């Protein structure tokens, strides 16, 4: 029972991590200090895609499922739960490009917000003399 719960919890954390990789740059619009955490997460996500690595969470889920008497993941997490389920497998490259575009837009927005805030601060300093 405990291993099944661990497997399900790991799966949920994995989904949250992927959501953060995709949308975490927008979180940094509200809390700019989180950009460092997002850079690490996005970098890790990119390494997984480029070097076809398995995330450690995949190993944990696989291990827990096997201990619970279930079959482990026959493929990686994304291949098991997303590709072919959330979008057709033939659109994998397009989905990856869309995710990259979302991350880049979030970073561009963050830079723009930082630039605007800096400009506003500089203008206030000039007014004060």
- Map tokens 């979030």 to a residue: 106
pLDDT tens digit sequence for 25-64: 999 999 999 999 999 999 999 999 899 888 899 999 999 9
The structural domains of the chain, with segments of one domain joined by +, span 2-128
Could you give the CA distance from residue 26 to residue 99 in angstroms, rounded to a whole number?
13
Q: Record the pTM.
A: 0.86
Tell which residue, 21, 26, 24, has the closest CA to residue 47.
Answer: 21
Could you give the CA distance from residue 80 to residue 73 in angstroms, rounded to a whole number?
7
pLDDT tens digit sequence for 72-82: 888 889 989 99
Read off the DSSP letter of residue 13.
Answer: H
């Amino acid at each position: 029972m405990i291993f099944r719960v661990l497997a399900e919890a790991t799966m949920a954390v994995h989904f949250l991590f992927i959501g953060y990789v995709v949308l975490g740059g927008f979180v940094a619009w509200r809390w700019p200090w989180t950009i460092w955490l997002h850079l690490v997460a996005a970098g890790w996500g990119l390494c997984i895609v480029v070097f076809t690595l398995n995330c450690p969470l995949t190993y944990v889920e696989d291990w827990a499922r096997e201990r619970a008497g279930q079959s482990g993941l026959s493929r990686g997490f994304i291949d098991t739960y997303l590709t072919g389920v959330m979008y057709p497998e033939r659109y994998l490259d397009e989905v990856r490009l869309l995710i990259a575009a979302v991350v880049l837009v979030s970073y561009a927005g963050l830079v723009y917000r930082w630039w605007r805030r800096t400009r506003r601060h500089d203008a206030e300093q000039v007014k004060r003399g």
